[in-house]
Structures are given as C-alpha cells and as structure tokens.
Amino acid sequence: MTSTTSQNPPRPKTPERHGFGRTVWEYTKSLGIALVLAIVIKTSIVEAYKIPSGSMEDTLLVGDFLLANKFVYGSRIPLLDIRLPALRDPKPGDVVIFKFPRDPSVNYIKRCIATGGQTVEVRNKRLYVDGDYVPLPPEGKYTSGEQIEPAGRSPRDNFGPYTVPENSFFMMGDNRDNSFDSRFWLAVPRDLIQGQAMVIHWSWSQDDDAPEWTWSNPASLAGALLYNSVHFIERVRWNRFGQIIR
C-alpha cells in the first residue's frame, strides 16, 4: 500500500497595501501627466475657439464653437518661445485664427485672401488679387446692398492696390460689409498665425431674452441656468454639429 503525504495548498499572496501618502502621490502623478498632455494638445495640436462676432457670417455664426488645427502652421512648444516646423503656410481660402496685430492678446478669425508678394485691390466692393476677380466664398455675403463707400473715406468698399509684404498674409471676413480686417489694419505677420479652423463641434444661438449672469451677482447664475435649461433644445443649432469649415 502506497502512502501519500498531505500538504497544505500555498496561501495566496496578500496584495501589497500602499500607505495613504503613496496613494495620494499616484493620483497626483496621474493628474499631473493628464494636465501636461492637455496643455500640450491645447497649445500645440488642437484648440477650441468661440465665435463672438458676425464678421465671418454665414460661414461661421455667433455662438459657434470650433476646433482649430495648430499643428499645420507650426505649433509653439508650451512655455518656450519656439515654433515647430510647419507643414505649410496659410494659403488663400484658408480660414485662419491669428493674433490681432494691434493687440496680440486678442485672437481673430478671418479668411486668408492673399500671401506675401500678391497684390490686393477692392474696387466698388469687388475683390481682385493680382488683377483677377475673386468671388465671395459660398457662405459669404454683403449686407449693405449697393451702398459704396468712396475711396479715401473708408477702405471697406475701395481699397488698394496693396502688395502684401513677404512672410505676411492679407485677411478678410466673409461678411464683407461688417468685418474689421486687413483692409483697415493691413497684413498679418507670419509670427501671429495660430491655426486653421477645422470643424464646428458646438453651436449655441443668440437669445436677447436670455438673462445674463455675473460673478458679482452669484444669484444671477441660477436664473441663467434655469432659462437655458428650459430653452436648451431650441437654442442649440443641431444642424451645425460636425460641419467642416471651408
């Protein structure tokens, strides 16, 4: 008769218990990594913008929120004044975000009309680049009918001829009669270019009856939230979600 020896099965290893400090450190490290990645993406690859004015109507509407490709024109490295190599420069037809030449703390969005070396002229509202007529973009418009601003009084309807300096870009809004653009303050230097508008990811229509709220009056926030909750469905422009900006 063969005898066997009985052995107790091995005990499962108890998971290592981390102290409270170690747990806090792990969460802090993960949050820090996520924050750094978010900053890198925002400043170097893709950034969100809101349209505050009607200068690009009807291509872009007040209350549109869009994403811009910052990589294509050369991203800036966060915290360093270094720009990465660009895939290309803005070209005529691109919708471009840039820093306003007269106040670089403000972002503008316009359509690139001409690049360095090209000559721009507006004659009785009609746009010409290097002598060739350039029609309005598909969603562009005039709002002042046949009213023509005389040359010398305003550059809106009669401008130039003006040759764009090298390494600069001439920008105009698609709403030609209501756009403060390069006709008034000339070309945008390359260093102020930020990114190319890509797609609309959210759109919120204006409502003059909507209550405003301010930090100085916290109670006003409740009224604004209530109003917008009630009118949410009608204020969202559902048909603009995901529209490619051209």
In the set 110, 168, 179, 203, the catalytic residue is 110
Strands 193-203 and 95-100: antiparallel
Instruction: Please give the structure tokens belonging to residue 4.
Output: 């066997």
Judge whether 55 counts as a catalytic residue. Answer: yes
Give the torsion sign (CA, 67, 71, 77, 81): negative
Judge whether 110 counts as a catalytic residue. Answer: yes
Torsion of CA 45, 86, 134, 176, to 10 degrees: 40
In the set 55, 75, 168, 179, the catalytic residue is 55
Q: Is residue 203 within 8 Å of residue 63, measured between CB atoms?
A: yes
Q: Under DSSP, is residue 135 helix (H, G, I), strand (E, B) or coil?
A: coil
Cα-Cα end-to-end distance for the chain? 90
Please give the positions annotated as active site.
Answer: 55, 110
